[in-house]
Structure 1
Amino acid sequence: MGNQPLIVLSEESQRTSGKDAQSMNVQAGKAVAESVRTTLGPKGMDKMLVDSTGNVVVTNDGVTLLSEMDIDHPAADMIVEVAETQEDEVGDGTTSAVVIAGELLSQAEDLLDQDIHATTLAQGYRQAAEEATEALEEIAIDVEEDDDEVLEQIAATAMTGKGAESSRDLLAGLVVEAVQSVADDGEVDTDNIKVEKVVGGSIENSELVEGVIVDKERVSENMPYFAEDANVAIVDGDLEIKETEIDAEVNVTDPDQLEQFLEQEERQLREMVDKIADAGADVVFVDGGIDDMAQHYLAQEGIIAVRRVKSSDQSQLARATGARPVSNVDDLSEDDLGFAGSVAQKEIAGDQRIFVEDVDDAKAVTLILRGGTEHVIDEVDRAIEDSLGVVRTTLEDGKVLAGGGAPEVNLSLALRDYADSVGGREQLAVEAFADALEVIPRTLAENAGLDPIDSLVELRADHDAGDSAAGLDAYTGDTIDMDAEGVYEPLRVKTQAIESATEAAVMLLRIDDVIAAGDLAVSDDDDDEDMPAGGPGGMGGGMGGMGGGMGGMM
């Protein structure tokens, strides 16, 4: 072969190795964190996202921002996964998790420049995360599942700084009531809480219905509007004559024959309705369609019928009323029926809906959210989703932490003490981890227009003096006892954020070779066309050209 070079990669491939690869990934992660950093805390700002079709989303919810952005860099995608994991696990703390991940990468960058090996950093970060989780357990506050006051404070804390803040006390009460209603032996499935968004009115008009609201109308005007003490049937099929599976042709030579065909169809539909009536049903919810003749017979029997009901609505109806869905009316019996004290068609904001209320044991509820515009109500919905997540987590775990940056300052001091017992260069990584956690109180101060250094010094002094619940009041700039103030976050929000951020940072730091099938970067022309000056979220100068790969992230 001589000295002839061996070419393994195609000409279109791009390879970045060593410190260049590490730098590129670190810059990508930091850019994602920077894009959401200004949204953190009670005085965080909102972002406006406009997609290619002109649809607008105005929000400061971390996971919504990151999922709506058109991110096209593999390292940046890994940081977005941190937010998605946080949302799936606990429902809140997505921005904190991403900001911590970005700061861990930023701290690591300085150590990499000092020739600290990436695996040493990874080991130190993992040790620090493990110690941090144990330290959080020690300062956690126990909460009883019937402590409505604390649960409402937790729900209100999750809404702070979001579109629902003006009515957070009312909404927090509704959220706690909703979660407690669907709780079953300590387990909470928030899928049983349906959120119905209604444009019109104000947020103050929002209410909780102990039961289910189906966004449908009764199929015939001849049916009753209202049924009291109603027996409810759920049919997971349709009330129509089934078509044959094979095409067939029937020659009719006599008008009597045609009449017999029609009579046979009517008789079959009549039998279906008779079976529903014989079972004692007053209301029937059908997954499929309902034949016009069947509608006529149902109206004659005084039965309210609703067709094309979504499977998710059927599940909630079954859980709320106790009804058992049947796939065929032939199988319907009295034992399959559920009960509701009231089933009625009502108008809400100009639309007709079916309200199923006064159920014996409301294991499925509906939260009606009102708002003046669609954008307002969408942001309130996101705030409610976060609140439902934190209240659910609190009921399941029974442990919370004081908020306002208090846990992070406490952990930072604890980890610096712990670092003294860690041998070798890992000690530097543990200290870097401690510094990284302080990004949360520092960012809270920055977003509130306060001096972050002064705020951090004051917080450290209070924690050194033994006040583990001292946090930053973003409105006054003072450090206050967050426990006494009723500002709480579930323990799992913090532990999950630290664990996810650490794993993502460690994974990116251990990459020393990036081999891409195509070019990760875009040309300057494309970047100028797609990226406004200053970049999204004020990231000074946009993301193009960031370590050879962030162009075209959004």
Structure 2
Amino acid sequence: MQAPVVVLNTQSGERQFGRKAQISNITAAKTVADIIRSCLGPKAMLKMLLDPMGGIVLTNDGHAILREIEVSHPAAKSMIELSRTQDEEVGDGTTTVIILAGEILAQALPQLERNIHPVVIISAFKRALSDAISIIEEISEPVNINDDKAMYTLISSSIGTKFVARWSELMCNLALKAVRTVMFDQDTGRREVDVKRYARIEKIPGGEIEDSKVLDGVMLNKDITHPKMRRHIENPRVILLDCPLEYKKGESQTNIEVSKEEDWNRILQIEEEQVKQMCDAIIALKPDLVITEKGVSDLAQHFLLKHNITALRRVRKTDNNRIARAVGATIVNDVRSLQPSDVGTSCGLFDIEKIGDEYFTFLTKCKDPKACTILLRGPSKDILNEIERNLHDAMGVARNVVFHPRLCPGGGATEMCVSVGLERRAKAVEGVAQWPYRAVAEAMEVIPRTLIQNAGASPIRILTQLRAKHAAFWDSKEEQNGATNGDAAVSSAWGIDGDKGAVVDMHTYGVWEPMAVKLQSIKTAVESACLLLRVDDIVAAKQAKQAGGPIGGGGEEE
């Protein structure tokens, strides 16, 4: 196999190769977008994914699908990375961003065929992006994050397209309660909502989905270390440790030769004294419960049991951090440095229950928990996994609104409004840049069109109706004839009913999305399209070890 040669001349042959690379990238991006295009909206189709171990995943979550797919084309890989970025940043809109990016690149292809230079296309795309952002900010509406009804409407629009739509109210309740629990106003005035670290989802197969709940505290899949320790403690004093309650052997004296029996007894005595010293430091603070991330020796259990102290060992670090937030304790690295202020006292109940075949520890009834566990019940593991994915999206939406309390109309209304708005503004763009600017406007229509197609309706007729509604809205804005944004005839909130594929006003239909998700989707899609258009050569690196030759090249090529 010959190593690829990069041609650095500027003859027509090399330019043709550059064009080939761009077309190849666009085709790969379109292919990825086509895979998950049918996963948008409430009538979305499911994908069945088979993993190498023979297990199956059934889902219509764009991010979950792309995470499982294996691709070799670098452009396709970067598209899959987009959905991961979107999921990390805002937790929702992963399908939208891929479809948008694929369509923007597809619309760039005719511009390349017109021999418009990629740099001109990119600058037009960037201009269209800044105009799109200003349009979205203009049509967004404020929301009161303390109004439960408004928040429920918002979260239900995120999970209305998912498997859990049947238990919409329950899931909205779980997501909202979890986000409000972990919401934390810092001294600096910033608000912290770390759902990933402090709201853990625990899935226990069995029971009804309706039995799922948000605990006002933390749950662990742990049992006590000694059978005689207490399993039920009200208002426990909790100490959290990050050190073992075991005899620590000296690092250099690994081998000890014992010739007399007294020496052996002395060794055991030293071990006992060291463990007793550790336990005494803990007992001095009169705790009811000791939780450590490391081990607890039998001897330490004996000393703790004598003073009626319950111990849990080998708790995960992430769980320990959640317990610390929930019960108001500080995790201590050395028992000798324990202070009375390190003891957590805000937990109301410590209880161990057996669910199915396993024991679970509950630390609940916390006074002001800044961490929580969402307990999910359901008939099977697969269903629980899908519910967890959907709940992650719902919590992402609730979290975004807490940070940016503004909403945009859903159902493709925002995209259509941006599309028609950009079409109007394109007249002011001079020169050939007008073509790629219009291309972004056309690409925005892909979201409402896909919603109509997935609902099984006629895209051309309904898109024309929708375009006319938004054209009327922009006409009224241009004329400034006193018509308001909320006026039904000229509202910017006309979108698609994903179930029937008809044109509806989102003010009455009630599908809204956080502005943060919309902005992130469009920014990510346009930026990634610009990035892929900049690529004019794909070069595979030579393998480090050629067949029969030494490492570092120099060997004969096949």
TM-score, scaled to structure 2: 0.89
Residue-by-residue CA offset, 1:296-346 (whole Å, 9 max, x unaligned): 222222211110111101111111111011111111222110121101111
Is this contact kept in 2: 1:143–1:398, CA < 8 A?
A: yes
Could you say which residue in structure 1 is the equivalent of 2:115?
Answer: 115
Could you say which residue in structure 1 is the equivalent of 2:518?
Answer: 494
Are 1:277 and 2:283 matched, yes or no?
yes
CA distance in 1, matches of 2:500, 2:220: 45
CA distance in 1, matches of 2:87, 2:41: 17
Is this contact kept in 2: 1:125–1:429, CA < 8 A?
A: yes
Matches within 5 A, 1:340-359: 340-359=347-366
CA distance in 1, matches of 2:288, 2:429: 71
* Of 435-444 and 158-167, the range deviating more from structure 2: 158-167
CA distance in 2, matches of 1:345, 1:14: 66
Is this contact kept in 1: 2:418–2:441, CA < 8 A?
A: yes
- Choose which of 246, 257, 261 in structure 2 pairs with 1:255: 261
Matches within 5 A, 1:241-252: 241-252=247-258
- Choose which of 273, 289, 292 in structure 1 pairs with 2:298: 292
Is this contact kept in 1: 2:451–2:501, CA < 8 A?
A: no
Are 1:385 and 2:385 matched, yes or no?
no
Deviation at 1:116, TM superposition (A): 2.4
Secondary structure of 1:338's counterpart equals coil
Residue-by-residue CA offset, 1:21-70 (whole Å, 9 max, x unaligned): 11111101101111111111111111111122223222211122112111
Could you say which residue in structure 1 is the equivalent of 2:491?
Answer: 467
Deviation at 1:459, TM superposition (A): 1.5
Are 1:188 and 2:193 matched, yes or no?
yes
Residue-by-residue CA offset, 1:423-445 (whole Å, 9 max, x unaligned): 11111111111110110000011
Could you say which residue in structure 1 is the equivalent of 2:74?
Answer: 74
Once superposed, which parts of structure 1, at least 4 consecutive aligned residues long, lie more than 4 Å away? none
Secondary structure of 1:496's counterpart equals helix
Could you say which residue in structure 1 is the equivalent of 2:313?
Answer: 307
- What is the CA RMSD across the aligned residues, in angstroms? 1.6
Is this contact kept in 2: 1:192–1:316, CA < 8 A?
A: yes
Could you say which residue in structure 2 is the equivalent of 1:13?
Answer: 4
CA distance in 1, matches of 2:120, 2:153: 41
Is this contact kept in 1: 2:143–2:406, CA < 8 A?
A: yes
Are 1:418 and 2:425 matched, yes or no?
yes
Matches within 5 A, 1:443-462: 443-462=450-469
* Of 415-424 and 108-117, the range deviating more from structure 2: 108-117
CA distance in 1, matches of 2:227, 2:102: 59
- Choose which of 239, 242, 245 in structure 1 pairs with 2:245: 239
Residue-by-residue CA offset, 1:195-217 (whole Å, 9 max, x unaligned): 11111123211101011111211
Is this contact kept in 2: 1:13–1:518, CA < 8 A?
A: yes
Of structures 1 and 2, the one scoring higher in RCO (CA 8 A, sep 6+) is 1
Deviation at 1:129, TM superposition (A): 0.8
Deviation at 1:518, TM superposition (A): 6.2
Secondary structure of 2:184's counterpart equals coil
Amino acid at match of 1:294: A
Is this contact kept in 2: 1:14–1:518, CA < 8 A?
A: no
CA distance in 1, matches of 2:272, 2:155: 55
Mark the runs of 5 or more structure 2 residues left unpaired by the alignment. 7-15, 186-190, 473-489, 544-558
Is this contact kept in 2: 1:445–1:472, CA < 8 A?
A: yes
* Of 302-311 and 452-461, the range deviating more from structure 2: 452-461
Residue-by-residue CA offset, 1:106-140 (whole Å, 9 max, x unaligned): 11112222222222211111111110001000111
Could you say which residue in structure 1 is the equivalent of 2:505?
Answer: 481
Are 1:228 and 2:234 matched, yes or no?
yes
CA distance in 1, matches of 2:458, 2:225: 63
Residue-by-residue CA offset, 1:228-285 (whole Å, 9 max, x unaligned): 1111100111100012111443333332332232233223222322221211211111
Could you say which residue in structure 2 is the equivalent of 1:161?
Answer: 161
Cα 1:309/1:494, change in 2 over 3 Å = same
Amino acid at match of 2:326: A
* Of 118-127 and 87-96, the range deviating more from structure 2: 118-127
Secondary structure of 1:53's counterpart equals coil
CA distance in 2, matches of 1:518, 1:485: 57
Secondary structure of 1:57's counterpart equals strand
Mark the runs of 5 or more structure 1 residues left unpaired by the alignment. 1-9, 520-554
Could you say which residue in structure 1 is the equivalent of 2:10?
Answer: none
Is this contact kept in 1: 2:412–2:495, CA < 8 A?
A: yes
Amino acid at match of 1:369: L
Could you say which residue in structure 1 is the equivalent of 2:383?
Answer: 376
Could you say which residue in structure 2 is the equivalent of 1:541?
Answer: none
Is this contact kept in 1: 2:457–2:500, CA < 8 A?
A: no
Cα 1:257/1:95, change in 2 over 3 Å = same
Sequence identity, in percent?
Answer: 37
Is this contact kept in 2: 1:14–1:517, CA < 8 A?
A: no
Secondary structure of 1:17's counterpart equals helix
Could you say which residue in structure 2 is the equivalent of 1:529?
Answer: none
Could you say which residue in structure 2 is the equivalent of 1:65?
Answer: 65
Residue-by-residue CA offset, 1:464-505 (whole Å, 9 max, x unaligned): 332211111122332222233331111011111111111111
CA distance in 2, matches of 1:70, 1:414: 38
Deviation at 1:356, TM superposition (A): 0.6
- Choose which of 212, 217, 220 in structure 1 pairs with 2:218: 212
* Of 260-269 and 409-418, the range deviating more from structure 2: 260-269
CA distance in 2, matches of 1:283, 1:503: 52
Deviation at 1:14, TM superposition (A): 6.7
Is this contact kept in 2: 1:143–1:400, CA < 8 A?
A: yes
Is this contact kept in 1: 2:289–2:309, CA < 8 A?
A: yes
Deviation at 1:168, TM superposition (A): 1.6
CA distance in 1, matches of 2:467, 2:125: 22
Deviation at 1:192, TM superposition (A): 1.1
